Amino acid sequence: MNSKRLVPCALAALLAQGCATITSTEMQPLSLTTAAADGTQLEKASCTLRNDKGSWTAQSPGFVPVHRSAEDLLVECKKEGHADGVLRAVSRAAAGLFGNIIFGGVIGAVIDHSKGTGYDYPSRLPVRMGASVVVDGWEDADAPAGSGAAAAGLNSGSSAGGGTAHSGERVGR
């Protein structure tokens, strides 16, 4: 292949990586789990997830596809015999949005922002009944998958990611 074809192809591939509209969908599947106040797994809680793009209902545990948005996702779960659980999932700008700003310019970034494709929620939503927690995907991102509390979506300890899942505290993905 000659260099006249290689340069435009390489440039097109580089620009496509920066556009979240091309590399992401508007919907993001999230893993929803619920735990009783003592931390034991709780099944069949009725949950409502909502942001400025819509509202979704689900039963825990399960996967829920939600519309991506720049706004945080509010999750409220109810189960008879348990206090309600509330979780706020922080929306963060995805790498594709930054790439679009650098390579695609303002128009592409505005499109990604308005469609929600430039944002991600934490992939796991661990709702603790009787508590209000915040889940931020940028915290505890270095925790190895499948390791203890990190696998359950709880950051247990005193690392920079926060504390245990007490009322109002932050938990990692």
Answer whether residue 73 shows pLDDT above 60: yes
Per-residue pLDDT tens over the stretch 100-137: 555 556 656 566 555 555 789 999 999 999 999 999 97
| Pairwise CA distance, residues 15 & 22, whole Å | 10
> What percentage of the chain has pLDDT greater than the value 90?
47
Q: Give the domain range for residue 101.
A: 3-171
Please state the rounded mean pLDDT for residues 66-83.
96
Given the structure tokens 């939503």, which residue do they identify? Answer: 125
Number of domains in the chain: 1
pLDDT tens digits, one per residue of 146-171: 333 333 333 333 223 333 333 454 45
Distance of CA 171 to the CA centre of its chain: 12
Contacts of 101 (CB under 8 A, 6+ apart): 18, 108, 109
The pLDDT mean for the chain works out to: 72
Average pLDDT value for residue range 1-17? 48
What's the number of CA atoms in the CB half-sphere (13 Å) around residue 53?
A: 19
pLDDT reported for residue 118: 74
